[in-house]
Amino acid sequence: MSTRSTVLSALLLAGSSLTASCGGPPKVANTEADPKAPQATAPPVAVAEPARPSPPPPPPTAGGGEPLEVRVRFHQEVADGAHTTEFQSSRLVGHYSTPNGKVGFILDRTTDPPKIRLDGDTYVLVLTSRQASKGWLEYVASNVWIRIDEETGRILSFSGPGMKDSSFVVRDADARALPAAR
């Protein structure tokens, strides 16, 4: 219950108990032509006081009762535009699969040109770029074709071995960088 409704309920409760102690509801002259029958009032309802939050726990102390001093050193990489951070590099390597789960692959974009390894294969293919329309990058290697949005880096469509049409793929896991192609 909000504070406003709690305060309003308390005021109504106080007002109803005040009128009850003074001899009932106030009498008001009826200015309408037809007199109305007096309405019965409901008995006052008790309103519970809202719970107060408990105080915060005391700080951890050492054996002597003094507060502990905790120092944490974070490893933080700073993106400078010239070098990729570990986080940025990890986003460039991932496992992808088609929605039906029949075809999956690891795409490694940490190197130029990118590399791909299809699930179940032991060899790594090096992708070569191909002319595409504005805003798209297309990469091909033997029987693999990938279209990537140039601005976001999202894979728009994929076609691989045994597929009749291109398909949407989803990144479903992180992966490690692929070794050099054979």
* Domain ranges across the chain: 86-174
pLDDT at 108 over 70: yes
Q: What does the pLDDT average to over 34-55?
A: 66
* Structure tokens, 4: 């406003």
Q: What does the pLDDT average to over 14-37?
A: 53
Percent of the residues in the chain that have a pLDDT greater than 90, as a whole number: 18
* Structure tokens, 15: 């007002």
Which pLDDT score, from 0 to 100, does residue 105 have? 93
Confidence of residue 69 (pLDDT cuts 50, 70, 90): confident
| 3-state DSSP assignment of residue 74 | coil
Place of tokens 């200015």: 31
Q: What does the pLDDT average to over 41-62?
A: 69
Fold of 86-174: Lipocalin (2.40.128)
How many whole angstroms separate alpha carbon 93 and alpha carbon 169?
A: 14
Q: Are 44 and 16 in contact (CB under 8 A)?
A: yes
